[in-house]
Amino acid sequence: MKMKDQEKCDNKACASKKKRKLLQGIILIIIGAIFLLNNYGFTDFDIGKLWPLFLIVPGVFMVFRSEKDH
């Protein structure tokens, strides 16, 4: 089954998927760093009013990604 998956994945599609995963990882690292800096008092970041963005932003990316695939 792995061979079929690899055959379906051409170079351009695989590169795009790798870039997307890299970007997602970088975003998570940045968000984690902001929270860590906030915990140690280096920033004054209040998530109280911004937490819905953590649901909205990934949702928007998922919608645009699904439209791009079709």
Res. 57: pLDDT tops 80 = yes
Q: Are 45 and 52 in contact (CB under 8 A)?
A: no
Buried b vs exposed e over 39-67: b needs ≥16 C-beta within 10 Å?
Answer: eeeeeeeeeeeeeeeeeeeeeeeeeeeee
> Residue range 7-16: average pLDDT?
70
Integer CA distances (angstroms), 18 to 5, 37, 52, 64, in order: 15, 28, 27, 17
pLDDT at site 70: 60
Res. 38 pLDDT band, cuts 50 70 90:
confident
User: Whole-angstrom Cα distance, residue 45 to residue 41?
Assistant: 9
Global pTM value: 0.56
